[in-house]
Amino acid sequence: MKEIKNICCIGAGYVGGPTMAVIALKNPQIKVNIVDINADRIAAWNGDDLDKLPIYEPGLKEIVAETRNKNLFFSTDISKGIDDADMIFISVNTPTKTYGKGKGQAADLKYIELCARQIAEVAKDDKIVVEKSTLPVRTAEALKSILENTGNGVKFEILSNPEFLAEGTAVEDLLAPDRVLIGGDNTVTGQEAKDALTSVYGSWVPKDRILQTNVWSSELSKLTANAFLAQRISSINAMSALCEETEADVDEVAKAIGMDTRIGAKFLKSSVGFGGSCFQKDILNLVYIAKSYGLQEVADYWEQVIILNDYQKRRFADKIIRESYNTVNGKRIAFFGWAFKKDTNDTRESAAIYVADYLLDEQADIVVYDPKVSTEQIYADLEYLNTHSAEEIRSRVKVVSSPYEAVEKAHAVAVLTEWDEFVTYDWEKIYDEMLKPANVFDGRNILKKDQLEGLGFKVFNIGK
Ligand code: NAD
Ligand code: UGA
């Protein structure tokens, strides 16, 4: 079996950074180079202040402190990284296409293709190329075709090794994964490549949790896993709307069904809607793939998960408007949280962005407090939608660095992210600062409703 001594990872993002840091930590004999075209990102990974790494993940800075410049390196020299490596992970972004065929649904594979072309151009000896990015089923075929048509005699084995970590728990997920999935060809050299990658993970992951499959099953399993996870959230969110009409309590319903071991308790937390860079993108991609094979019913089935999620975000904004005497014009709404979930600074596809956008349509004034998200990120998220001008956004949306500042003279507080600290605030002080009636819209069902009502708040939940 080929022993891996040098790994290169192209893409120093939310997946490449933490995954390679853990691989380096658990394999001190392997040199791991993470390379990226984004020089600012690489500089931040190399910066002295570990509190300013480009990605916030609990436990990550400690691992970076232990491995950086020992066997973990960050660089913009992509060609050198490729040249030195026996194994190359491709961990670049695969966003939804915003142009041309498949616009709004298909995955944009231009970054993947650029990586493949650069690998093909630079490689002088045989390499194992690992798809770490989430990719449409059969992408390995295209990669193979690009890599094998260079005419320089270099042999490539292509593996699919999708990542299942969730943001906010990336380090814990990487240290103790439910499973590691490795797909590859069932040829002799394909098996050798699968075994080589298995041994990298084998340094810390028990053997029975490392699953080898064919490459297509591996690619499709990643899209399927995300579709199933998101589908659970849309399913419980659909029930939340029914709960609100019938005096059933969605948290009680979730508990009751989750105790059935066939259903399971996880991923049944009703919310303002799921966000994050992947669920929507991957389901849209699945829908596109199903359509491209003529499987319209399959496509329609999964598309409904997205339609329901959009409905949930809209429903939450509509409730804020309805309960504010049908107008939020000029009213101050304090947003607690902007990140798409707690314990991350990532805001991609966060429900907060869309709820804010709907409220801006109604000319609300929004004051945002999030413990980890920067002011410029919040403006950039809203400007990206292109529905309101930059001037309007900057005049109507204020970002503050304290929750108590956010609620001064506010008509309502809306909880958009489930940060733990929101629960422990001095809610009496918040009540005093707000205009009355003081409304709280708990989009995550995390606050203590009885206690808040005792203080005088009117509390609105999801699914209650
Ligand atoms: P990201 O945007 O945080 O990072 C991708 C990085 O790749 C960027 O820093 C970008 O500059 C770099 N890049 C793009 N093209 C490049 C090129 N040609 N050469 C060098 N660098 C290049 O993305 P991410 O969140 O890390 O996601 C990466 C992939 O992993 C996606 O396919 C995503 O679906 C998948 N994934 C993400 C998560 C998650 O939690 N974020 C989890 C599992 C899987
Ligand atoms: C998700 C998957 O959980 C990972 O396994 C996968 O690797 C990753 O996508 C990916 O492919 O990118 P992530 O998006 O980081 O991870 O975070 P999740 O914990 O899945 O949360 C996604 C969204 O769903 C968040 O907005 C969260 O608040 C929401 N959510 C989650 C709910 O509303 N209810 C729940 O019960 C769980």
Both tokens assigned to 210: 């490392």
Q: 15 and 138 in one domain?
A: yes
pTM equals 0.96
Closest CA to 129 of 91, 172, 76, 79: 91
Whether the Cβ atoms of residue 139 and residue 131 lie closer than 8 Å to each other = yes
The DSSP call for residue 208 is G
The answer to whether position 251 is within a domain reads: no
For residue 211, the surrounding DSSP H or E stretch is strand 210-213
Looking at all shown ligands, the one closest to residue 309's CA atom is 2
The alpha carbon of 13 and the centre of ligand 1 are apart by a number of angstroms equal to 5
Q: Tell me whether residue 163 is annotated as binding.
A: yes
Token digits for 219?
Answer: 């690619």
- Pair (10, 152) in one structural domain: yes
Question: Domain check: are 201 and 66 in the same one?
Answer: yes
Indicate the residue type of 404. Answer: Y
Residue 143 lies inside a defined structural domain of this protein: yes
Tokens of 197: 């990658």
Residues 191 and 83 grouped into a single domain: yes
* Domain boundary residue, one of 183, 213, 243: 213
Q: Domain for residue 240, yes or no? A: no
Ligand nearest the Cα of residue 419 is 2
- 48, 45, 38: which is closest to 21 by C-alpha? 45
Inside any domain, residue 109: yes
Residues annotated as catalytic (active site), given as ranges: 278
Domain interval for residue 429:
307-461
Sequence-distant (6+) residues with CB within 8 A of 327 are 321, 362
Sign of the Cα pseudo-torsion (450, 451, 453, 454, in order)? positive
pLDDT for position 150: 76
Are 368 and 417 spatial neighbours (Cβ–Cβ below 8 Å)?
no
Name every protein residue with a CB atom under 6 angstroms from any ligand 1 atom.
Answer: 10-16, 36-38, 41, 78, 91-94, 111, 114-115, 133-134, 163, 165, 167, 277-278
Largest CA distance in the chain: 75
Which residue, 213, 245, 267, sits at the end of a domain? 213
The count of residues in the chain is 464
Q: 255 in a domain, yes or no?
A: no
d(CA 337, CA 303): 27
From 213, 231, 262, the end of a domain falls on 213
In tens digits, the chain (464 residues) has pLDDT values of 679 999 999 999 999 999 999 999 999 999 999 999 999 999 999 999 999 999 989 999 999 999 999 999 999 999 999 999 999 999 999 999 999 999 999 999 999 999 999 999 999 999 999 999 999 999 999 999 999 887 778 999 999 999 999 999 999 999 999 999 999 999 999 999 999 999 999 999 999 999 999 999 999 999 999 999 999 999 999 999 999 999 999 999 999 999 999 999 999 999 999 999 999 999 999 999 999 999 999 999 999 999 999 999 999 999 999 999 999 999 999 999 999 999 989 999 999 999 999 999 999 999 999 999 999 999 999 999 999 999 999 999 999 999 999 999 999 999 999 999 999 999 999 999 999 999 999 999 999 999 999 999 999 999 99
* Residue 398 host element (H or E): strand 397-399
Instruction: Give the DSSP H or E segment for 315.
Output: helix 296-323
Contact in structure between 132 and 92 (CB atoms under 8 Å): no
**Number of domains the chain is built from:** 2
Looking at the fold, whether 208 and 311 belong to one and the same domain comes out as: no
- CA of 15 relative to ligand 1 center, distance in Å: 6
Helix ranges (H only) for 123-276 are 139-148, 170-175, 188-201, 215-246, 250-258
Residue 179 belongs to domain with CATH number: 3.40.50.720
Q: How far apart are CA 35 and CA 37, in angstroms?
A: 7
Residue linked to tokens 């490596």: 85
What's the gap between Cα 180 and its chain centre? 18
Residues 100 and 205 in one domain: yes
Are 205 and 322 members of one domain?
A: no
270 domain residue, yes or no: no
CA atoms of 283 and 301, how far apart (whole Å): 10
DSSP state letters, 373-384 = --HHHHHHHHHH
Same domain flag for 208 and 323:
no
- Say whether 33 sits in a helix, a strand or coil: strand
The verdict on 315 and 201 lying in the same domain is: no
Nearest CA among 49, 12, 54, 52 for reference residue 32: 12
Q: Is the domain of 189 the same as that of 321?
A: no
Q: From the alpha carbon of 170, which atom of ligand 1 is closest?
A: 40
Within-domain flag for 21: yes
Describe the chain by its helix, strand, coil percentages, rounded to 5: 45, 15, 40
